Amino acid sequence: MNQLYEAHSYFRRRNYPKCVSVCTELLEKNPYDEAAWVLKMRAMTKRVYVDDLESEDLSEEFLDDVVIATAPRPGTSIRNIVHTANLSTGSRPRSSTGRPISGIARPNTQLRPGSAIDRTKTSRPLTSSARTIRLGTAAMLTIKDGPFIQVSRLNLNKYAGKIGVAKALFEYLYYYEGNIRIAMELAIQATQQDNINTEWWWRVQLSKCYCHLNLLRNAEQELKLAIQLHDHVENFVRLARVFIRLDQPLMAKEICTNGLEKFSNDITILTELARLHEVMDELEISTNFYRDIVFHDAMNVEAIACIGLHHFYSEQPEMAMRYYRRALQMGVYSAEIYNNIGLCCLYSQQLDLTLACFQRALDLATEPEIKAEVWYNLSHVALSSGDTSLAKNCLNICLTHDPCHALAMNNLAVLEYRIGRHTLAKNYFATAQSLDHSLIEPKCNFGSPYFHFPLVSKGKIKKTSFEHFAGTFIKSLQVRK
């Protein structure tokens, strides 16, 4: 069998290590074999490739203090959102920055190990640690046990004119080597070539490099040019992300709306709008967008989890359980999903299924943090049955797995107060407040000298990822003595 054909076969079957090995053998025989050289670059890139469009998140660190107004108008800034949080049982919990907690963990926490995407935050370019036997120099000469490509000696002007080689080389420099500066130089030279069919793609890649270097206005300009050259969903989404980082959510909404006019009911744009409205504390509008997503894509994990979260905090645990059971029917078999179904059964008074779900969650839980959350929720099962001694034991086991669990510390303080240990309860309240300054219950309890109204934090559901469907639930319940 022809070795190049064999390498292509391995590449199509996503057997990238064998593809790299065969290409290395070909290049040892002929260092000037450009086809094997490009195929090896693509295989090495695919081994660490991550969808950077999905890996981004609307987090606080993306916002730049330099580019936002000191006193923006209400509704025009992500930083200055007027929150409507209260202590009612239907209020959605919020993060330490005051934002409502989403029903799903964004994919930026699921980056593939070894990818150079997470190393581009450093000031100098780094190379991948997952090195195999590399070959050659920029002139494609074989140097055994040497680097595959000596980036500093690349003739970028030469490769920028070759469409098939330039794209593979850019992705290799961007994803595998993590050398944003050289990749940006290659993209700049490629945009200067007279090739209308691929210019828009290079504009998008150049904007990605500018975003990594925090040159957001340059990235905005490149993406606007890319939209003029070619209508593509990625162009609209990336431009909206740039405006979000510039703290201009209204412009981001306008860009997404324009994208929906050209790509009707596109799932990616609808998801971006739903996330943006969620960050802006417009939870009802966000849930409506998620419902539209489920209508067009019934297998969308994020939409299912977020709609379940909305129903749970709208005092509709039966409806929330329907969505989590849907996730279970889709093949999810994890501690998080059984934990969530157990809480829904608890609040919908289906007590015969509650303990069975939590037992299954404990059997599947492997990480100490997940075990702590399950035991914390089991304490509420004990409280609902009136067994305060069992609830105290569950909270102690929870703190054994996670000593920094502030909610468990607060509830344990309430139980200690009920049996008359006021000094110990006061110490627990102070500890809970020091562990998490964003919690309301420890502040109210510790601030009251007589503890007339101790607040108990309600059941918490672990947040999910694309592999584990769930929602992060922290409910507050006011209990009077």
- Per-residue pLDDT of 233-269, as tens digits, reads 999 999 999 999 898 999 999 999 999 999 999 999 9
C-alpha distances in Å from residue 183, one per residue of 58, 89, 151, 167, 209: 25, 51, 10, 10, 8
Overall size of the chain counted in residues: 481
- Taking the C-alpha atoms of residue 142 and residue 383, their distance in angstroms, rounded to an integer, is 71
The average pLDDT across 443-450 equals: 66
The average pLDDT across 225-239 equals: 93
Dihedral of CA atoms 10, 14, 15, 18 in degrees, nearest 10, equals: 50
Q: Which two tokens stand for residue 13?
A: 């079957």
* pLDDT computed for residue 456 by the predictor: 58
54 falls in which pLDDT band (50, 70, 90)?
Answer: confident
> How many angstroms from the chain centroid is the CA of residue 322?
24
Residue 176: burial class (beta carbons within 10 Å; 0-12, 13-18, 19+): buried
* 82 pLDDT higher than 60: no
The average pLDDT across 309-324 equals: 89
Q: What angle do CA 31, 35, 39 make, to 5 degrees?
A: 105
238 near 223, Cβ under 8 Å?
yes
> How many angstroms from the chain centroid is the CA of residue 75?
24
Lowest-pLDDT range, 42-51, 229-238, 348-357, 432-441? 432-441
Percent of the chain with pLDDT over 70: 73
- Taking the C-alpha atoms of residue 159 and residue 167, their distance in angstroms, rounded to an integer, is 9
Q: What is the pLDDT of residues 399-417, one digit of tens each?
A: 999 999 988 999 999 898 8
* pLDDT computed for residue 81 by the predictor: 62
Dihedral of CA atoms 15, 20, 23, 24 in degrees, nearest 10, equals: -150
Dihedral sign of CA atoms 19, 20, 22, 23 in order: positive
Q: What is the pLDDT of residues 271-302, one digit of tens each?
A: 999 999 988 888 899 999 999 999 999 988 88
The average pLDDT across 171-188 equals: 91
* 480 pLDDT higher than 70: no
| Amino acid type, 25 | E
Q: Which domains does the chain have, with CATH numbers?
A: 298-481 (1.25.40.10)
184 near 208, Cβ under 8 Å?
no
The strand pairing partners of 73, in sequence order, are none
Region for residue 265 given its phi and psi (left: phi exceeds 0; alpha: psi -120 to 50; beta: otherwise): left
Q: How far apart are the first and last CA of the chain?
A: 81
* 334 pLDDT higher than 50: yes
- CA diameter of the chain: 84
More confident residue, 267 or 119: 267
Record the pTM. 0.76
* 316 pLDDT higher than 80: yes
Lowest-pLDDT range, 10-24, 98-112, 160-174, 334-348? 98-112
